């Protein structure tokens, strides 16, 4: 047993894959831009879903599955989503055994709270920093394996490309040590991408600054399909900031938080409760976001005439808030200087999550043999809109299944990466090193950070909550203009040691490529479904668009193909949240 697996990314998906692959006997190398313990998974707040059904509500994995498919507006292939929901209670128990300090009931059992798009208490949580706590537990398990010599970590290393042999099979990666600038190639029998989402393409979002989507974009440019790129989740409740938009978890509403503003007569208006009596403040994110957007932008009823509404917890018991929502209360206090236990928070929607990502099959493998993907960087589990607290689940579940699936693939291989001619690895390394060297010769007049700022503003203005075809078209033209200006960049830092500007410049190109995939995917999808909303095409159109978008790279921009969705388990039905959801399908 000498199978070698490379995992790129050390968030929940990457660490879960590393743990499983290592337990199954593989030699594992993890590559991560940051120490894995600082991965973006730490930012997840509210919790993780699993139908453990401890509240006597008759919840079940099937009900979780139906909520997820319905919440995703039927765009997800159903069998993998069902498998994830079936596995969810076991995953929560496993994380509990690893020592995650989940909140408890008086009887000492795991506590569960409500989240959007469901009527059940299904979300396990550790205060309001659940992602951080889950990540730390996996980090600890992987550190244990690292101490035993079963896992090797390359932290402060950036993935550059997959190494693909003459037969089109992935045989390793090239990566760069961000400390020294050195570029190397690494052989592997399988590579698992777990590199997270691309929120930074939108400039300011709830994402960490490392979430540029650069790795997924590099692979797209190497021939991997990128699926459903146009489905970008805009979270309804974030605090506007100068450097980022900080998330205020959906769990605030799960614990009784109410969204409101003043109506035309100056009276408090709980508009979500009025518009959606069945789910109230706990409608799914796309629905809540559009409502807040309409109230502020169309009706001009934002608080104080600005683009903000209230998220109000001030009627709740302050001690309970500390125990269940401490993390976000602290964030609001530190960044806004006000106490949400006493005054309502001011919030506005912000780009949050990509439902789309690298296309994978039911074994989590991309269209490039030997190259797998798990977590937010792939597209499989959330359809057109992700339900809150399903991302921590899909990240961990994706990692847990991908580790063993990758190993299974390796064990079926006729030749290992050791049998591949060394020239393949040398050529890949040289190609990347040459590209990097060329960047240091850029002596034009443009600044990469300025181009990124413009990209973010265009994407946020035109490719988020409300989308119009003429504006999408103009945005694509703008991205191409930015790509032209990219050629006239100036390398603002020419030292090789710990240079941050050069890697950012490389990532910027990848962001531009992926921005076109997102924009053109949206332009071509003439319907409204989940997070994708076009006033010119307000209805879901199953006949033409119950399909996965698959973007393939070409020198002239993305080429779009469409693939049927597997709806074999639950028949698509209209999605609405003003009335209670009907039961879905047979069990």
Partner 1 sequence: MSEQKTIRLVVTRQDGPNENPYREEFVVPYRKNMNVISAFMEIQRNPVNAEGKKTTPINWESNCLEEVCGACSMIINGRPRQSCTALIDNLEQPIRIEPMNTFPVLRDLIIDRGRMFDALKKVKAWIPIDGSHDLGPGPRQSEEEQQWRYELSKCMTCGVCMEACPNVSGKSSFVGPFAVGQVALMNSHPTGSMRAQERMEALISDGGLQECGNSQNCVRACPKGIPLTKAIATMNRAATKHMFKKWLDF
Q: Return the active site residues.
A: 285
Q: Which of 32, 53, 118, 133 binds partner 1 (CB under 8 A)?
A: 133
Phi first, then psi: what are they for 444, rounded to 5°? -80, -150
Closest CB to partner 1 among residues 299, 493? 493
Per-residue exposure over 390-420, b if at least 16 CB sit within 10 Å of its own CB, e if not: bbbbbbbbbbbbbbbbbbebbeeeeeebeeb
Residue 250, interface with partner 1 (CB under 8 A)? Answer: no
Q: Which of 278, 297, 323, 559 binds partner 1 (CB under 8 A)?
A: 323
Q: Can you tell me the distance from the alpha carbon of 14 to that of 396, in angstroms, rounded to the nearest whole number?
A: 8
Closest CB to partner 1 among residues 209, 427? 209
CB-based contact 360:380 (threshold 8 Å) = yes
Q: Could you tell me the two tokens for 427?
A: 């050529």
Run of H or E including 48 = strand 48-49
Residue 327, interface with partner 1 (CB under 8 A)? Answer: yes
Per-residue exposure over 284-320, b if at least 16 CB sit within 10 Å of its own CB, e if not: bbbbbbbbbbebbeeeebbbeeebbbbbbbbebeeee
Closest CB to partner 1 among residues 278, 495? 495
Residue 126, interface with partner 1 (CB under 8 A)? Answer: yes
Pattern 201-240, binding to partner 1, x per CB under 8 A?
A: -------xxx-----------------------------x
Q: Can you tell me the distance from the alpha carbon of 352 to that of 285, in angstroms, rounded to the nearest whole number?
A: 10
- DSSP code of 128? T
Give, as ranges, the residues between 54 and 93 that touch partner 1 (CB under 8 A). 90, 93
Q: Can you tell me the distance from the alpha carbon of 433 to that of 441, in angstroms, rounded to the nearest whole number?
A: 13
Please work out the total of residues on this chain that contact partner 1, with binding judged by CB under 8 A: 71
Which range, of 135-143, 433-441, 460-468, 526-534, touches partner 1 by CB under 8 A?
135-143
- Nearest alpha-carbon partner for 60 in 82, 78, 93: 82
Give, as ranges, the residues between 341 and 380 that touch partner 1 (CB under 8 A). none
Q: Can you tell me the distance from the alpha carbon of 352 to that of 310, in angstroms, rounded to the nearest whole number?
A: 19
Which range, of 57-65, 97-105, 348-356, 556-564, touches partner 1 by CB under 8 A?
97-105
Phi first, then psi: what are they for 106, rounded to 5°? -55, -25
Q: Which of 60, 103, 363, 367 binds partner 1 (CB under 8 A)?
A: 103
Q: Which of 25, 99, 268, 277 binds partner 1 (CB under 8 A)?
A: 99
Instruction: Kindly state the smallest distance separating residue 16's Cβ from partner 1, in Å.
Output: 8
CB-based contact 440:494 (threshold 8 Å) = yes
- The residues with which 190 forms a beta bridge, in sequence order, are 5
Residue 13, interface with partner 1 (CB under 8 A)? Answer: no
Give, as ranges, the residues between 501 and 540 that touch partner 1 (CB under 8 A). 501
Closest CB to partner 1 among residues 67, 146? 146
Instruction: Kindly state the smallest distance separating residue 528's Cβ from partner 1, in Å.
Output: 32
- The residues with which 176 forms a beta bridge, in sequence order, are 158, 183
Residue 97, interface with partner 1 (CB under 8 A)? Answer: yes
Residue 40, interface with partner 1 (CB under 8 A)? Answer: yes
Which range, of 129-137, 167-175, 455-463, 546-554, touches partner 1 by CB under 8 A?
129-137
Residue 247, interface with partner 1 (CB under 8 A)? Answer: yes
């Amino acid at each position: 047993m000498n199978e070698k697996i490379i995992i790129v990314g050390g968030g929940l998906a990457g660490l879960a894959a590393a743990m499983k692959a290592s337990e199954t006997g593989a030699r594992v190398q993890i590559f991560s831009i940051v120490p894995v313990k600082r991965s973006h998974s730490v930012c997840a707040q509210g919790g993780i879903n699993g139908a453990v059904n401890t509240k006597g509500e008759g919840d079940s994995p099937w009900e979780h599955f139906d909520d997820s498919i319905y919440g995703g507006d039927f765009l997800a292939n159903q069998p993998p989503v069902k498998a994830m929901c079936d596995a969810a209670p076991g995953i929560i128990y496993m994380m509990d055994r690893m020592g995650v300090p989940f909140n408890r009931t008086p009887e000492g059992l795991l506590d569960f709270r409500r989240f959007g798009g469901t009527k059940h208490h299904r979300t396990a949580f550790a205060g309001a920093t659940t992602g951080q706590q889950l990540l730390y537990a996996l980090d600890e398990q992987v550190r244990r394996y690292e101490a035993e010599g079963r896992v090797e970590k390359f932290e402060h290393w950036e993935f550059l490309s997959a190494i693909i042999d003459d037969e089109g099979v992935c045989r390793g990666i090239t990566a760069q040590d961000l400390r020294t600038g050195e570029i190397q190639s690494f052989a592997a029998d399988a590579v698992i991408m777990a590199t997270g989402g691309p929120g930074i393409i939108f400039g300011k979002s709830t994402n960490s600054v490392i979430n540029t989507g650069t790795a997924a974009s590099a692979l797209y440019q190497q021939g991997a399909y990128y699926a459903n790129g146009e489905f970008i989740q805009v979270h309804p409740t974030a605090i506007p900031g100068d450097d980022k938009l900080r998330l205020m978890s959906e769990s605030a509403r799960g614990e009784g938080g109410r969204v409101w503003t003043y109506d035309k007569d100056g009276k408090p208006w709980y508009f979500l409760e009025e518009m959606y009596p069945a789910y109230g403040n706990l409608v799914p994110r796309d629905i809540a976001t559009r409502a807040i957007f309409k109230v502020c932008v169309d009706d001009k009823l934002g608080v104080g005439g600005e683009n903000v509404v209230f998220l109000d917890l001030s009627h709740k018991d302050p001690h309970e808030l500390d125990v269940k929502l401490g993390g976000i209360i602290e964030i609001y206090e530190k960044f806004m200087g006000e106490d949400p236990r006493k005054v309502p928070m001011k919030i506005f929607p912000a780009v949050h999550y990509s439902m789309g990502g690298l296309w994978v099959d039911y074994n989590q493998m991309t269209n490039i043999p030997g190259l797998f993907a798990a977590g937010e960087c792939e597209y499989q589990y959330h359809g057109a809109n992700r339900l809150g607290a399903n991302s921590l689940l899909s990240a961990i579940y994706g990692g847990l299944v991908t580790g063993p699936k990758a190993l299974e693939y390796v064990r079926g291989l006729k030749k290992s990466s050791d049998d591949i001619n060394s020239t393949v690895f040398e050529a890949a390394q040289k190609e990347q090193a040459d590209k990097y060297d060329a960047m240091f010769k850029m002596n034009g007049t443009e600044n990469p950070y300025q181009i990124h700022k413009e990209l973010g503003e265009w994407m946020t203005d035109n490719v988020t909550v409300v989308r119009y075809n003429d504006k999408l078209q103009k945005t694509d033209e703008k991205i191409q203009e930015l790509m032209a200006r990219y050629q006239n960049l100036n390398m603002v830092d020419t030292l090789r040691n710990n240079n941050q500007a050069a890697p950012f410049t490389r990532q910027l190109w990848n962001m531009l490529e992926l921005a076109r995939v997102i924009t053109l995917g949206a332009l071509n999808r003439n319907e409204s479904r989940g997070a994708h909303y076009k006033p010119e095409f307000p209805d879901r159109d199953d006949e033409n668009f119950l399909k996965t978008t698959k973007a393939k790279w070409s020198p002239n921009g993305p080429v779009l193909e469409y693939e049927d969705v597997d709806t074999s388990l639950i028949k698509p039905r209209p999605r609405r949240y003003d009335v209670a959801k009907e039961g879905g399908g047979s069990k």
